[in-house]
Copies of this chain bind each other. A is one copy, B any other.
Amino acid sequence: MKIGIYGYGNLGRGVECAIRQNADATLVGIFTRRPPKSVKTLTGAPVYAAESVLDFKDEIDVLIICGGSATDLPVMTPALAEHFHVIDSFDTHANIPAHFEKVNAAAEKTGHLAMISAGWDPGMFSLNRLYASAILVDGKDYTFWGRGVSQGHSDAIRRISGVKDARQYTVPIDEALDAVRAGAMPELTAREKHLRECYVVAQDGADKARIEKEIKEMPNYFADYDTTVTFITAEEMQEKHSDLPHGGFVIRTGKTGLNKEHTHTIEYSLKLDSNPEFTSCVLVACARAINRMANRGATGCKTVFDIAPADLSPLSAEELRSHML
């Protein structure tokens, strides 16, 4: 399959690396809104201007759109789905239904196939919520995130006056995880599920006490959580907090039996050194499925829920049954 990458940030670079690991995938090129000559790629892949992408319609099987969910993808994915089979990793959960409708209409108009919200949450975590709830009907599921860097929370801290840089780690609370795993089906508040660990580089002479107070009292982001704030130097930030690890847990417990006498626990967890690189791996596997489904005549917008697992794998149906079933 011939893949194009549209957008070249952390995610685009991750997809570039992931394509190298998949023998059946080749990278046609990277499309950027920056001046192409100013962009140096990791693997030496060619770079083109974003506005020239339509010239590559016949050379690209699937276009992976690596933009942000806030402002890029709501515009890019519907526009590009009229011309390409596309995939994105749109992750603003509340806006997924609206995004789906727009992308579906655009893709159907010209008989293209699109997939939105591929990644790990939404993505693999969503799949595990679905599988677990379909199996354990009488149960309750929980999603915990972390330990990992939340870009949104880090950005929120950076907007506080006197803050030069910031990194926020979301940390699941062990006691809550244990209670869930034990099948107690607890009702947990936000504060009981996650801690928020903040590392902040303050500007010279800034009032650190005021910054800490502003962080801890910030509504939605921090006020409902136990939050720690640690001031560090720019060097320490660079040295210890440059990576973007993440992960988390999807756990469902449920009851079965004539009198619900048996308890079961299904747990799925991810521990990721690099959030964008893992998301990129999911995107490339999904590109394989979208390419196959498009070749079979599928059109419109899909999500991970609509993809038969076999379509994600490079192995044949016979190989899968022999070696993985």
Binding site for B on A (CB under 8 A): 14, 17-18, 21-22, 42-43, 93, 96-97, 100, 117, 122, 124, 126-131, 133-138, 181, 256-258, 261-274, 277-278, 280-282, 285, 288, 303-310, 312-314, 317-318, 320-322, 324-325
Contacts and interface: CB of A to CB of B under 8 A. Distances in A.
B267 A324 contact: no
Given A265-B271, A267-B268, 6 more contacts: A17-B256, A17-B258, A96-B322, A265-B269, A266-B270, A305-B317
Number of copies: 2
A236 to B, nearest CB: 21
Contacts of A321: 96-97, 100, 303, 305
A130 B181 CA distance: 25
A277 B256 contact: yes
A225 B321 CA distance: 28
Contact of A309 (B127, B278, B310): B127
A14 B256 contact: yes
A43 B258 contact: yes
Contact of A126 (B97, B127, B280, B324): B324
